[in-house]
Chains A and B, each alone.
Chain A
Amino acid sequence: MGASQTRTEDIFQDLSDKTGFSLEQIRILHKRFRQLSGDEETISKENLENIQALDKNPIRNQIIEAFFDKRNQNDGEVGSSVEIGFEQFVKVMCHFKPPTLKMTTEDKEAMRREKLRFLFNMHDTDNDGTITLDEYRKVVEELLSKSGAIGLEAAKAIADAAMLEVASINVPHMEPDEFYEGITFEHFEQILKGLEMESRMNIRFLDVDTSTMHCGKSQ
């Protein structure tokens, strides 16, 4: 008992150093992980799909897919895992940390790039390094999927217009017979420069252990 506890504590400490979460936060995430996985060591896609609150989310599948995407693990691998362990879970959550007061501008830039990379991976499903028109169309369709027929008609037009805009901003002068392959990561960064991802793409990870309050409500 004692040995396994210290082992988990070591693991937590290790993770905390690697990812920048505090020990408290790691413990809370671990509790949640256990809840989701049904006390197993790993979670699979079904576990995440069972969360009821996610049902109404139009981009539910993309979110779940993002957890299992190996590219988000920063290991250099590609493809999709079938199951993930706690460490991978935390690494994905890492993308949603807020910037701290002490960060320099370079740090903030790096964080922004990391978050944008996460988004880019979510869109670029075939992993060829560009978001093609089809993939972008799919994104917009998913966004509008809960809005019925009106959504689907307009989705294509919106995606086309958006793509056109990306091309106009990044490659202003194209001959009529040139072809814009797709949105590369640099172009993606360029168009989303105004949104300041590092301050928007954040989740508040609790410091206080209030997981007991959520136990009843979360599933």
Chain B
Amino acid sequence: MPSRTLSKMPASLGKSLPEHGLLLVLILVLLEGTAGAASSPNVSPQDPGHHGGAAVEGHNISKKAFPVLEIDYHHIQLPFEISLWVLLASIMKLGEHRGMCACVCVCVCVCVCVAGLLPPQCPSPSGPFHLCSLLPPPLAHSAPPPSGPCPAWVPRPGTLRTAGFVLVFLSAGVPWSLRHLWTPLLLVLAQSRHLPPSALSRCPGRRGPHHQALLVLLAAAAVGVATVGPLQLVLHVEGVVDCGEAVHLDVLYHLFDEYSTVGTVTVMDAVLGVLCFLVVAVGGVLVGAIYGLLAAFTSRFTSHTRVIEPLFVFVYSYMAYLSAEMFHLSGIMALIACGAVMRPYVEANISHKSHTTIKYFLKMWSSVSETLIFIFLGVATVDGQHSWNWTFVTVTVILCLVARIIGVVGLTFIINKFRIVKLTTKDQFIIAYGGLRGAIAFSLGYLLNKDRYPMREMFLTAIITVIFFTVFVQGMTIKPLVELLAVKKKQEAKRSINEEIHTQFLDHLLTGIEDICGHYGHHHWKDKLNRFNKKYIKKCLIAGDRSNEPQLIAFYHKMEMKQAIELVESGGGVKLPPSVPSTVSMQNIQPKKPAPVERALPQIPKGREDEIRKILRGNLQKTRQRLRSYNRHTLVADPFEDGWSDLLLKKHKMIELEKKMSNYLTVPAAPPDSPTITRARLASDPQAYQMKQAPEGVPTIQVDLASPQSTDSLNMEDELQRADRRHADRRRRQDDEEGLMMRPPASGAPRGGDSAAEDGGPSNKEQRIQRCLSDPGPSAEEDEDEPFLS
């Protein structure tokens, strides 16, 4: 066994043996531990009995020693094994990342190996447990979770259109492929010599193999969670594909499950079936929408207890899933609808930290869940009883491929009639090729009831084979294929403010042109929906001021905050954030007209801040260059170098400390690294300026840090501390700035403008951070300030 492991592991895990050796050792140790523990479950139950017996009888049994240390495995068996599984899954994921293969491939591969190694008493998924705990996370993850970067309520026109297309495609596509697969497979089944006739007769009642075959086909047609990659590339759709297919499969699965109990299928049944399909889908959406609105409404009131915000999001979504399942509606649809409905409102209401929490928790959970499902797959492959039927299996595999291709081509043909921008053959090929079967197919097959489906093993074998085939062959080759075909990749959505402005502009323009043309296209309706949303819904569901915020402004604030965070995390001006690799500043753009001497507005407009920030950065750069250049070309003897190295060491230490701080905090609450404070600290550091008395004759080099005098900076630090203590409020921000001396830069030298303007800059920025974060910040920030002032 170990040799098998050793031979398979390096292949899938790739290079760097020592690390993998370590991982391997770790895994083996864990396994030994489990095996050892599993073999001694007999100790515990007898102890109490023994003890009791000793107490009661006493005479012929010697008194057992008081149990100081006992092993009680049964007590914790179930949670222990579950945790072990999860741990193993996560360790596999660690190893997988260094490998070269696609994620799913490695998962499956390794899971098979592990399944072969482990003792067979692993927790097998029982229906409800499986359904309720393992399936939702990957689906929730693929559903639009409240964590997207785009603040738009209504998705961009491209997305909406393609989403519509995809959903139509999938809802028609699944039954389509079923129809194509059904007859041939039935024929195969009927004619297969490997089928023991007793199997057929064993079915009580008149349940023929038809329905069972249907169910199998359903499962086999299930496109697993791993499809999204190529489709994302082509259609710029995020995860809608998963949801769509999953939904319809869920619905159809229930449908056919019902059918298989019935016996014969009449026309009435078929009609009712279609009706049922609709009810299930729409009902699921409704349930999800209701829960979504509830969640949005609740999140309006959480401004004082930020800690439990993620909890609301998760629990409401999960309850939507469960409630829908209660009515036999589509739980998956409910989950997706809940997420989609609550997203814009909850995003506006919750704090940045909760946002991050939700995003990463969901990612983590869904990743583990997915891995676990594949582990079960591995276990079932190795351990499960297989009944291998060559014909059935090969026909299934081939038919799946063929049906998919036919489905894609046919449906694209129909849909292209309605689309403005048509899908090309390349797109179609990628869509057809990208149909990987995975977790959902397997889960659905696994959940089949043994009594009702006596040929379950055969079905499972077929499903597993299809999964392996598609995952390995198609999964591994699709990436090079995509590159070969030079498919346009999805743009990394780093929208600039210009793009945002023009997207909005375009929306309005197209709506206007549609109005002039006189026909009510989808821009018109989208616009109406938007206005309705703004007028009524947002007022109810979003707390405070933000309900009125136009989308462009929301986007702008988000962007500014991101830039501020980047600035802070990059060590505050030590290096320029990569997004602004230019030296253009506001003064390049402002038209050359004399600035008014007295400013009517007490507020520093953001444009000025940009200018200030650029000047600061520029000066700081120059400063550092000068410092460095002095160091390099210094002609002075050692006395100066000591002072210098001390200074540099201090600087480095502080930068390291800042970096560490920003690693611990998701968003650093205080900006202790703004260039001004750094400089101030340097300036106020008495030791740095203690230049040793130069011996006679040695030329002294004056270091001019191009920064304000120490006293000024100390004053400014006081200002900042005071600013920290206040809560962010726009009016108060104006007051602050009124109190500061703002000399218009046009009148004085740049340096004069620097010193006063610096005060405005960072405090403004940090207050904006505070506003955006809306966390009770001040006390935390003050604590963090202490170490830096030593």
A-to-B contact residues, CB < 8 Å: 29, 32, 35-36, 48, 51, 53-54, 56-60, 63, 67, 93, 96, 98-99, 101, 119, 122, 132-134, 139-140, 143-144, 147-148, 150-151, 154, 156-158, 160-169, 171-176, 178-180, 191-192, 194-195, 199-206, 210-211, 214, 217-218
CA–CA, A166 to B552, complex, Å? 17
Q: Looking at the complex, which one of A151, A161, A175, A191 makes contact with B606 (CB distance below 8 Å)?
A: A161
User: How many whole Å from B491's CB to the nearest CB in chain A?
Assistant: 6
User: How many whole Å from B463's CB to the nearest CB in chain A?
Assistant: 38
Whether the Cβ atoms of A179 and B592 lie closer than 8 Å is: yes
CA–CA, A120 to B193, complex, Å? 73
Whether the Cβ atoms of B501 and A140 lie closer than 8 Å is: yes
- Name B566-623 residues within 8 Å CB distance of A: 580-592, 605-607, 610, 618
- Does B505 count as interface, using CB distance less than 8 angstroms? yes
Whether the Cβ atoms of B424 and A157 lie closer than 8 Å is: no
* Cβ contacts under 8 Å, A217 to chain B: 520
CA–CA, A98 to B588, complex, Å? 39
* Cβ contacts under 8 Å, A48 to chain B: 516
Whether the Cβ atoms of A54 and B515 lie closer than 8 Å is: yes
Most interface-central of B510, B517, B520, B548 (chain A CB within 10 A)? B517
Q: Looking at the complex, which one of A98, A165, A210 makes contact with B421 (CB distance below 8 Å)?
A: A98
* Cβ contacts under 8 Å, B586 to chain A: 160, 164
* Cβ contacts under 8 Å, B607 to chain A: 156-157, 160-161, 164
CA–CA, A9 to B56, complex, Å? 113
Whether the Cβ atoms of A218 and B584 lie closer than 8 Å is: no
* Cβ contacts under 8 Å, B327 to chain A: none
* Cβ contacts under 8 Å, A192 to chain B: 498-499, 502
Whether the Cβ atoms of B517 and A32 lie closer than 8 Å is: yes
* Cβ contacts under 8 Å, B560 to chain A: 161
* Cβ contacts under 8 Å, A206 to chain B: 519
* Cβ contacts under 8 Å, B503 to chain A: 195
* Cβ contacts under 8 Å, A172 to chain B: 581-584
User: How many whole Å from B485's CB to the nearest CB in chain A?
Assistant: 15
Given A54-B515, A214-B518, do A158 and B497 touch, yes or no (CB 8 Å)? yes
* Cβ contacts under 8 Å, A178 to chain B: 588
CA–CA, A120 to B469, complex, Å? 53
Task: Tally A-B pairs: CB < 8 A.
Answer: 187
Whether the Cβ atoms of A168 and B582 lie closer than 8 Å is: yes
Besides the contacts A140-B552, A192-B502, what 5 more A-B pairs have beta carbons closer than 8 Å?
A: A63-B513, A160-B605, A166-B498, A176-B618, A202-B510
Whether the Cβ atoms of B521 and A204 lie closer than 8 Å is: yes
User: How many whole Å from B582's CB to the nearest CB in chain A?
Assistant: 4
- Does B158 count as interface, using CB distance less than 8 angstroms? yes
Whether the Cβ atoms of A143 and B516 lie closer than 8 Å is: no
* Cβ contacts under 8 Å, A96 to chain B: 510, 513
CA–CA, A167 to B451, complex, Å? 71
B-to-A contact residues, CB < 8 Å: 157-158, 420-422, 424, 491, 496-499, 501-506, 508-521, 523-524, 527, 531, 548-550, 552-553, 556, 560, 580-592, 605-607, 610, 618
* Cβ contacts under 8 Å, B158 to chain A: 199-200
CA–CA, A175 to B553, complex, Å? 30
Whether the Cβ atoms of A98 and B515 lie closer than 8 Å is: no
Whether the Cβ atoms of A151 and B550 lie closer than 8 Å is: yes
> What are 5 pairs between A and B in contact, CB < 8 Å?
A53-B524, A140-B501, A160-B586, A191-B499, A201-B506
Whether the Cβ atoms of B497 and A51 lie closer than 8 Å is: no
CA–CA, A195 to B586, complex, Å? 26
Whether the Cβ atoms of B610 and A195 lie closer than 8 Å is: no
Given A139-B505, A166-B498, do A133 and B590 touch, yes or no (CB 8 Å)? yes
Whether the Cβ atoms of A154 and B553 lie closer than 8 Å is: yes
Most interface-central of A98, A156, A203, A206 (chain B CB within 10 A)? A203
Whether the Cβ atoms of B502 and A51 lie closer than 8 Å is: no
* Cβ contacts under 8 Å, B553 to chain A: 144, 147, 150-151, 154, 158
Whether the Cβ atoms of B505 and A143 lie closer than 8 Å is: yes
Most interface-central of A59, A99, A205 (chain B CB within 10 A)? A59
Whether the Cβ atoms of A203 and B513 lie closer than 8 Å is: yes
User: How many whole Å from B231's CB to the nearest CB in chain A?
Assistant: 18
Q: Which residue of A lies closest to B493 (CB)?
A: A194
Whether the Cβ atoms of B591 and A147 lie closer than 8 Å is: no
* Cβ contacts under 8 Å, A158 to chain B: 497, 501, 552-553, 556
CA–CA, A16 to B583, complex, Å? 50
Whether the Cβ atoms of B610 and A147 lie closer than 8 Å is: no
* Cβ contacts under 8 Å, B591 to chain A: 132-134, 179
In the A-B complex, the 5 residue pairs with the closest CB atoms: A160-B607, A157-B606, A172-B582, A53-B515, A168-B582
* Cβ contacts under 8 Å, A63 to chain B: 509, 512-513, 516
* Cβ contacts under 8 Å, B509 to chain A: 59, 63, 119, 122, 201
User: How many whole Å from B550's CB to the nearest CB in chain A?
Assistant: 4
* Cβ contacts under 8 Å, A67 to chain B: 516
Q: Looking at the complex, which one of A57, A195, A204 makes contact with B420 (CB distance below 8 Å)?
A: A204
CA–CA, A210 to B8, complex, Å? 66
Whether the Cβ atoms of B548 and A150 lie closer than 8 Å is: yes
Whether the Cβ atoms of B515 and A176 lie closer than 8 Å is: no
Whether the Cβ atoms of B420 and A98 lie closer than 8 Å is: yes
Whether the Cβ atoms of A51 and B589 lie closer than 8 Å is: no
Q: Which residue of B lies closest to A99 (CB)?
A: B421
* Cβ contacts under 8 Å, A166 to chain B: 498
Whether the Cβ atoms of A163 and B589 lie closer than 8 Å is: yes
Q: Looking at the complex, which one of B497, B506, B581 makes contact with A161 (CB distance below 8 Å)?
A: B497
Whether the Cβ atoms of A194 and B491 lie closer than 8 Å is: yes
User: How many whole Å from B429's CB to the nearest CB in chain A?
Assistant: 16
Whether the Cβ atoms of A57 and B580 lie closer than 8 Å is: no
Whether the Cβ atoms of A203 and B548 lie closer than 8 Å is: no
* Cβ contacts under 8 Å, A139 to chain B: 501, 505
User: How many whole Å from A66's CB to the nearest CB in chain B?
Assistant: 9
User: How many whole Å from B162's CB to the nearest CB in chain A?
Assistant: 11
Whether the Cβ atoms of A176 and B585 lie closer than 8 Å is: yes
Whether the Cβ atoms of A58 and B508 lie closer than 8 Å is: yes
Q: Looking at the complex, which one of B157, B508, B513, B523 makes contact with A143 (CB distance below 8 Å)?
A: B508
Q: Which residue of B lies closest to A118 (CB)?
A: B509
CA–CA, A58 to B553, complex, Å? 15
User: How many whole Å from B54's CB to the nearest CB in chain A?
Assistant: 80
Whether the Cβ atoms of A160 and B550 lie closer than 8 Å is: no
CA–CA, A144 to B591, complex, Å? 23
* Cβ contacts under 8 Å, A211 to chain B: 518
Whether the Cβ atoms of B511 and A150 lie closer than 8 Å is: no
Whether the Cβ atoms of A171 and B584 lie closer than 8 Å is: yes
User: How many whole Å from B92's CB to the nearest CB in chain A?
Assistant: 38
* Cβ contacts under 8 Å, A147 to chain B: 548, 550, 553
CA–CA, A149 to B502, complex, Å? 21
Whether the Cβ atoms of B548 and A148 lie closer than 8 Å is: yes
* Cβ contacts under 8 Å, B515 to chain A: 51, 53-54, 57
Q: Which residue of A lies closest to B528 (CB)?
A: A56
CA–CA, A93 to B509, complex, Å? 12
